[in-house]
Structure 1
Amino acid sequence: MESIFHEKQEGSLCAQHCLNNLLQGEYFSPVELSSIAHQLDEEERMRMAEGGVQSEEYRTFLQQPSGNMDDSGFFSIQVISNALGVWGLEIILFNSREYQQLNINPINEKAFICNYKEHWFTVRKLGQQWFNLNSLLTGPELISDTYLALFLAQLQQEGYSIFVIQGNLPDCEADQILGIMRVEQQQRPKLIGEDEANRMSVEQHVSDPGHSTDEALLDEDEEELRKALALSRQDMEVEDEEADLRRAIQLSMQGSSKPRSPGEMNAVMVASSASESSDKETLTADELRRRRQAYFDRQSQQQTQSSTHDSKPAGEDSGTKASQSQ
């Protein structure tokens, strides 16, 4: 992988990087590509002048900026095509009818250049393997033969224009080395600046303790609220079951011979349902009597405790009872 020439992104010079990564060397500079662009502009101006230098079309053409380059470093497909022509290379649109009629398998080609929204990059075969030489990546990305067609199809779906390179590419060291050996890639390259962006995001999060503390406190408050709501629901369920049980006991004391109103029948059904859901079993008559007796015992104990707390001392109470008995 070290033998592969991979020019990384600088400014908006992706067309330069695309060409140099394709040719595997520093063959073109911004000055040379600008010269080609100016030559194309002059040829277009001369063609427009043939219709008359006083025509409205010619004056409009002179007022428009160059369509072959701009100040950011962008170069058009015409500039790239002319630059490749210096090396006897031609380009053909990958999805054109002319090329599709040839029915060529992509893995049998030598290279592709791709463009989307003024960004150019190269996909090239070196040795017997394909590599994505996008200048926005930190290094070459290995592409398997089986994935190449899917990769190109995905680019087309995302709106890329893909051009096939036809002709003999210049010899390069990477092509010779990879022609006798294959390489494996354990980890795919990342986008340039991705690690830096992630690092800055982490540092910003750590350097803002107030924000993280507020988030932690908010999470704790939400957790406490959820616990409180859960406990309150449990208390309400217990109270509802006890109330249903009291109503069922009262109704059962009236005996089965006494007619019951629809509301009373509903109370019995609710009590039975609550008891079944809490004990996971159906109450029999004996179990209902035992629960009724336990209920009365609790009521009696509560009344005894209440009377003992509110009554007078035991001696005075005994004296009073003795005098009353006499």
Structure 2
Amino acid sequence: MDAIFHEKQEGSLCAQHCLNNLLQGEYFTPVDLSSIAHQLDEEERMRMAEGGMGSDEYRTFLQQPSGNMDDSGFFSIQVISNALSVWGLELILFNSREYQSLMINPINEKAFICNYKEHWFTVRKLGQQWFNLNSLLTGPELISDTYLALFLAQLQQEGYSIFVIRGHLPECEAEQILGIMRVQQQQRPKLIGEDQAQTSAGLATLSQTEIGFNVQSDAVDEDEALKRALALSRQDIDVEDEEADLRRAIQLSMQGAVLTNASTDSSSGRVRVDSKAEGELRGNNEMLTADELRKRRQAYFDRQQQPLQSNIPSQENTTSIENSSTEVDQQQKPSL
């Protein structure tokens, strides 16, 4: 693709870019095209003068601006046609009846020149491949043979005038290279204005990203500082005893709470809790089943009930005490 000559748009010199992209070289300058335009203007003036230099038509012609060029850099089809005639090339209107009657497949042509609202650009065949050499693009655009006819038809629908180039185009490096190899285009070129707009938008986005990165970095620093402070504070907390951990686990399980630092192994139905205190309770992250958890609950409740049961006398002891008290009362009671 680097071997293809492609002049990009400067000002309104699209006619110059169109010709140079067609011929694949810097063959024409604005001065060259201006000279051709002035020559055409002079030829038109001489023809109008044949009807009389004092006629109203001639005076009106002199007052009108040139139809072959203007101050912006626009050049007419006559200027382009005369410039190409220097190389033995001619233009044929693509949608004319004479050309359409020939029933020529567009891929068998050599090049096309397209015009719409004073903008000119070239579509040329280099080697065995077609390229859109529009000066408004950031680079040559590869056009497949199957898409060429659709591309030209679309241009016609949009109001473009299309001209077929007939004659022998000058040799160029791109023609030689692409004559022995084919190229592939991974990404199509953009319009120059679109590319600049995306570049500006990209720079703005990059700037916003840098600002966001700084803010995010500050937030991360604050989070790290908070984590360090929490870690230091946790060093001062003693590990609770086994019964306290078990009470907490029982209370949470009875309430149906889910520990935030616990994960469930769905395949085994076991619960793994990663906290330090509960790790000591289970013994190095032991896996507890529901039956094991109920057994430990029951053991805990049994231990809690033992002090209460030791303070409550049994029924037999109560009966013996009551009988002893009765006997003592009977002994102390005086007989009548």
Instruction: Indicate the residue corresponding to 1:122 in structure 2.
Output: 122
Residue aligned with 1:114, SS: strand
Give the Cα separation in 2 of the matches to 1:71 and 1:38.
13
Residue aligned with 1:165, SS: strand
- Corresponding position: 1:53 with 2:53: yes
Give the Cα separation in 1 of the matches to 2:89 and 2:131.
19
Size of the aligned set, in residue pairs, is 209
- Corresponding position: 1:145 with 2:145: yes
- Corresponding position: 1:39 with 2:44: no
Residue aligned with 1:184, SS: coil
Give the Cα separation in 2 of the matches to 1:61 and 1:103.
41
Instruction: Indicate the residue corresponding to 1:96 in structure 2.
Output: 96
Give the Cα separation in 1 of the matches to 2:20 and 2:206.
41
Instruction: Indicate the residue corresponding to 1:86 in structure 2.
Output: 86
Instruction: Indicate the residue corresponding to 1:134 in structure 2.
Output: 134
Give the Cα separation in 2 of the matches to 1:22 and 1:51.
39
Q: 1:159-208: CA deviations, max 9, x gaps?
A: 00000000000011100110000000000011113232124346668989
Q: 1:72-123: CA deviations, max 9, x gaps?
A: 1000000000000000000000000010011100000000000000000000
Q: What does 1:263-282 align with in structure 2 at a 5 Å threshold?
A: none
Instruction: Indicate the residue corresponding to 1:23 in structure 2.
Output: 23
Deviation at 1:127, TM superposition (A): 0.2
One-letter amino acid of the structure 1 residue matched with residue 11 of structure 2: G
Cα 1:53/1:152, change in 2 over 3 Å: same
Q: What does 1:295-306 align with in structure 2 at a 5 Å threshold?
A: none
Give the Cα separation in 1 of the matches to 2:14 and 2:105.
27
Cα 1:4/1:199, change in 2 over 3 Å: closer
Q: What does 1:1-326 align with in structure 2 at a 5 Å threshold?
A: 1-201=1-201
Cα 1:45/1:107, change in 2 over 3 Å: same
Query: Which structure shows the higher helix fraction?
Result: 1
Give the Cα separation in 2 of the matches to 1:58 and 1:89.
33
One-letter amino acid of the structure 1 residue matched with residue 120 of structure 2: W
Q: 1:199-254: CA deviations, max 9, x gaps?
A: 4346668989xxxxxxxxxxxxxxxxxxxxxxxxxxxxxxxxxxxxxxxxxxxxxx
Cα 1:26/1:199, change in 2 over 3 Å: closer
Residue aligned with 1:36, SS: helix
Give the Cα separation in 1 of the matches to 2:150 and 2:180.
26
Residue aligned with 2:150, SS: helix
Q: 1:26-54: CA deviations, max 9, x gaps?
A: 00000000000000000000000001000
Give the Cα separation in 1 of the matches to 2:128 and 2:202.
41
Give the Cα separation in 2 of the matches to 1:43 and 1:19.
23
Residue aligned with 1:113, SS: strand
Larger Rg: 2
Q: 1:243-286: CA deviations, max 9, x gaps?
A: xxxxxxxxxxxxxxxxxxxxxxxxxxxxxxxxxxxxxxxxxxxx
Cα 1:197/1:35, change in 2 over 3 Å: same
Q: TM-score, normalized by length of structure 1?
A: 0.62
Give the Cα separation in 1 of the matches to 2:10 and 2:142.
22
Identity of aligned residues (%): 87
Give the Cα separation in 1 of the matches to 2:193 and 2:131.
21
Residue aligned with 1:130, SS: strand
Q: Which runs of 4+ in 1 moved over 4 A?
A: 201-208
Give the Cα separation in 1 of the matches to 2:132 and 2:206.
36
Give the Cα separation in 2 of the matches to 1:52 and 1:102.
43
Residue aligned with 2:192, SS: coil
Q: 1:4-23: CA deviations, max 9, x gaps?
A: 00011110000000000000
Give the Cα separation in 2 of the matches to 1:176 and 1:202.
38
